[in-house]
Amino acid sequence: MSTTTHYGIIGCGMMGQEHLRNIALLPSTCVSAIFEPNAEMRATSANFAAAAKFVDSIDALLAVPDLDCILIASPNFRHIEQLQTIAKKRPVPILVEKPLFTDIEQLTELDAFIKTYPAPVWVAMEYRYMPPVAAMLECVEAATGGIKMLTIREHRFPFLEKVGDWNRFNRYTGGTFVEKCCHFFDLMRLAIGTEPVRVMASGGQDANHLDETYQGDTPDILDNGYVIVDFDNGTRAMLELCMFAEGARYQEEISAVGPTGKVEALVPGPGRFWPEHLGAPPVPQLIVSPRHAKGPELREIPVDPELLEAGDHNGSTFYQHQKFLELVRGERNAPEVSLHDGKLAVLMGMAAQTSMKEGRAVSISELT
């Protein structure tokens, strides 16, 4: 590898461009090749990757000689086939956006890929790296004495418009509780440190996209729900999602409680979508509440304004890229977010969707 790390990019829609802006902030990096079929997205991407060669296929991208790694930020339903193409033609380190897959029928193909791919693959789970969430994860064991209950609440705006409107349909996204919520299921596993065994959920499509049609099809993605997850050590976790709650002061509120106390992370939503009538967005907060103390400890967790400008995830995309770059350069031995992590996060989402549809508790073992 040269002193400059060269990236190949597959997909430069909204999330792909966030990745481009953050790669540009990293020292000694260069985006050398981009595959993006949409002309408007290609034109916008050129603003953040002036040296990149735009190619017409993944095969052409893989033929670019100096690539050190590849980022996959294409629509969800393309991830498995693109991973397989890279495996056949040029196995290099990969950062692949969540969700890792969208259809339970792809599980056999994914398992085969996991067993045989010779280079490291990092699944992009940006929420792990949001500064208030990272601060919570660092102190959660000491603050709680061991998590017994974990609650994640996200109140936010509806799904944004994307190229081709693919994110309006379960068949392309995997469903809202796969597409959007695999981040949160990943956080549950990470914070609790053990595996899920059973999922119970209730949800629906009650407000968003009901009056939209695309080529005669009405969107079928859910916009709200509750999910309860039982873990094999007896801990339980809950997710509350509402995607018609614009203007909430904090987009994510995460709390963990144990026998000795409680810790909370409060995370505002993206600044570019912040309603002007609410004034300036709040600073992210960490609140530690020992069980027998007089009062909680409140800590502000500010985020570098340059990183806020570079993306919608409180600087987490940059911090994730820093660590992925260390992996590509041989400065760390393994990805922090493995293919197994990405797989389990999707399976938890699929179990939630099945529970909502069938009105019953779903065991993770049913899906594996």
Q: Look at strands 53-55 and 29-35 and give their pairing.
A: parallel
The pLDDT value given to residue 98: 97
- pLDDT on residue 275: 79
With a CB cutoff of 8 Å and minimum separation 6, the contacts of 154 are: 180, 184, 239, 240, 241, 242, 251, 252
Phi and psi torsions of 299, nearest 5°: -130, 130
pLDDT recorded at residue 1? 52
Non-local (6+) Cβ contacts of 361 within 8 A are 198, 199, 200, 355
Per-residue pLDDT of the chain (368 residues), as tens digits, is 569 999 999 999 999 999 999 999 999 999 999 999 999 999 999 989 989 999 999 999 999 999 999 999 999 999 999 999 999 999 999 999 999 999 999 999 999 999 999 999 999 999 999 999 999 999 999 999 999 999 999 999 999 999 889 999 999 999 999 999 999 999 999 999 999 999 999 999 999 999 999 999 999 999 999 999 999 999 999 999 999 998 888 999 999 999 999 999 999 999 887 878 778 889 999 999 999 878 899 999 999 999 999 999 999 999 999 999 999 999 999 999 999 999 999 999 999 999 999 999 999 999 99
Domains of the chain, with CATH numbers? 5-126 (3.40.50.720), 127-311+338-367 (3.30.360.10)
For the chain, the distance separating the N- and C-terminal CA atoms, rounded to the nearest angstrom, is: 39
The two tokens of residue 177 are 């509780």
Q: In sequence order, which residues have a C-beta less than 8 Å from that of residue 17 and are 6 or more positions away?
A: 41, 44, 45, 48
Q: Give one DSSP letter per residue of 282-314, joined into a string.
A: PPPEEEEEETTSSS-EEEE----HHHHHH-SST
**Residue 38: CB partners within 8 Å, gap ≥ 6?**
13, 163, 164
- Please tell me the predicted confidence (pLDDT) of residue 339: 98
Give the model's pLDDT for residue 247.
82
CB 337, CB 300: distance < 8 Å: no
| Region for residue 359 given its phi and psi (left: phi exceeds 0; alpha: psi -120 to 50; beta: otherwise) | left
Q: pTM here? A: 0.96
Q: What is the DSSP string of 42-97?
A: HHHHTTT-TTPEEESSHHHHHT-TT--EEEE-S-GGGHHHHHHHHHHH----EEEE
